Amino acid sequence: MQTEPPIIYEDGHADGPVYRQVPGGHVPLEGRVILEPLHDTSCDAFPIGPCGCGDIGCDGACGISCDSCAPSCPTGGCNGDPMCGEYRDCDNLQPCITICLPQDGWLSAEYLLWWQDGMYLPPLASTGPLPSAANPNNTGTLLYGGDDVLTDSFDGLRIDFGVWLDRCHTWGVGGDFFRLDGRSDGFFGDPTTFPALARPFLNTELGGVEDSELVNSAGIINGTLNIQADSELYGWGVHFNHLRCAQEGCTTDWCGCPDTFCSRTEYLIGFRQVQLSEGVRIEESLTTPTAPIVGFDIFDDFRTRNQFNGFDLGWAYKRTRGYWSAEAKLRLAVGNTRQRVSINGATTITPTPGTPQTGGLLAQASNIGTYDRDEFSVLPQLDLRLGYQLTDQLRATFGYTFLYWSNVVRPGDHIDRLVDVGQIPSDPPVATPAADFPRFSFDNTDYWAQGLSFGAEYRW
């Protein structure tokens, strides 16, 4: 009887009969058998031994397809994967960065179809004074505002890139960038479309009840009203990737074929910046219908900017089976949000000469200015992605992302409709005492964005 089992090769065949070792000797086994595992696939046993980079890399498609239908599962399938490279004794390798330039890396580009938390706007356009508890008989009808805007989808782009610092893909450095194209929502009214048109506000001289400034009213004033709200989101980051563990093993697919699977778990640490810029601008152009004709050009402008800077920690898991791969990435960024609110307004009266007067309607001397402060924020993000290997190095991807951001400011929350009408510019200009309304105060809220991604990833 043979006392030592034959050598078993990576492709699963053996020289001569195969024996199973038992106490006291070896028992021959019938047929072509692969002894599993050929190596330790436990995460707790990392770093993995003789299978080398095949286990540790596992970045692309591995295993066999149903067309092969081999009678047994080829362990070590990842070793032949072009993403993992040839067999290397990784235990004896030093980090590549110490002896050469990084040779392996990745680049992905994705089209984003996202939705965001809508921006709330107070009532900004109506046909007259709006009904209220104090004046339920008011006949004005709300035309714009009083709900969320910018709730439709945003188009965008995301790019992820990086290089591995060692040949076994245990340490890497990368970066990412995403941007949602600026989107706007608005309202436009003129005498043709809205013969009765006004801007609603709360009048302090009437005890803070609903009132309105006329934009169109037959025989009194003719004008146009244009309201635009816009929003733009982008961000970038840099990070280190570190492999926590990798596994490779056998499974059976849905067509009954033996197949290999590869999985890897990574930790990420880095820096992240995200910026949200938004604004609301209200413009009026008014003229009196009778002589002497006087024109009024009025604008109120409310803008916010939130810039987050913080440390980014993450966990990523990838599992590859045949040509398919599934990934999950969870990131948590912790840091500071620099909040900025800018309010401006002015009125130009013609033919009266002189510079524009300070103040429109909702932006007056009492709240005009630029206000900054810092707030602690958390920014978690979840990414799920499904991939299909098109070639040895190119993979198509489809995914979902959810992003949350605490403690941001948005322009609609900083529009105070309570107005001291004594501040409103007039012809001729009249000096008015300082007033308290409209006023400014920071108002924090939370923000989210989520959506789908369609793209491709190239690895070399």
Nearest to 407, CA basis, from 373, 446, 381: 446
Q: Which residue has the tokens 């801007």?
A: 199
Of all residues in the chain, the percent with pLDDT exceeding 70 is 75
Q: Which residue has the tokens 């993000």?
A: 381
| End-to-end CA gap in the chain | 49
Q: For residue 304, what pLDDT is reported?
A: 98
Q: For residue 221, what pLDDT is reported?
A: 95
Q: For residue 16, what pLDDT is reported?
A: 52
Q: For residue 58, what pLDDT is reported?
A: 38
pLDDT digits (tens, 9 = 90+) for 330-381: 999 999 999 999 999 999 998 876 778 999 999 999 999 999 999 999 999 9
Q: For residue 107, what pLDDT is reported?
A: 95
Q: Is the pLDDT of residue 403 over 60?
A: yes
Residues 6+ apart with CB under 8 A from 101: none
The overall average pLDDT reported for the chain is 81
**For residues 11 and 40, what is the distance between their CA atoms, to the nearest angstrom?**
17
Q: Is the pLDDT of residue 209 over 90?
A: yes
- Alpha-carbon distances, residue 285 vs 59, 216, 222, 359, 423 (angstroms): 61, 10, 8, 15, 19
Q: Kindly report the pTM of this predicted structure.
A: 0.79
Domains and CATH numbers, the chain: 1-35 (no CATH), 105-459 (2.40.128.90)
**For residues 433 and 419, what is the distance between their CA atoms, to the nearest angstrom?**
14
Lowest mean pLDDT among 29-38, 57-66, 183-192, 337-346: 57-66
- Alpha-carbon distances, residue 459 vs 50, 54, 89, 379, 400 (angstroms): 24, 15, 22, 29, 21
Q: For residue 20, what pLDDT is reported?
A: 44
Q: How many CA atoms lie within 13 A of 45 on its CB side?
A: 10
Beta strand residue intervals within 288-323, DSSP E: 295-321
Token pair for 336: 């500071």
Which residues face 38 on adjacent strands? none
Token pair for 214: 């006329």
Q: For residue 259, what pLDDT is reported?
A: 66
pLDDT digits (tens, 9 = 90+) for 63-116: 323 233 233 333 343 333 333 332 333 444 444 444 455 678 999 999 999 999
**For residues 13 and 31, what is the distance between their CA atoms, to the nearest angstrom?**
10
Nearest to 119, CA basis, from 164, 182, 73, 49: 182
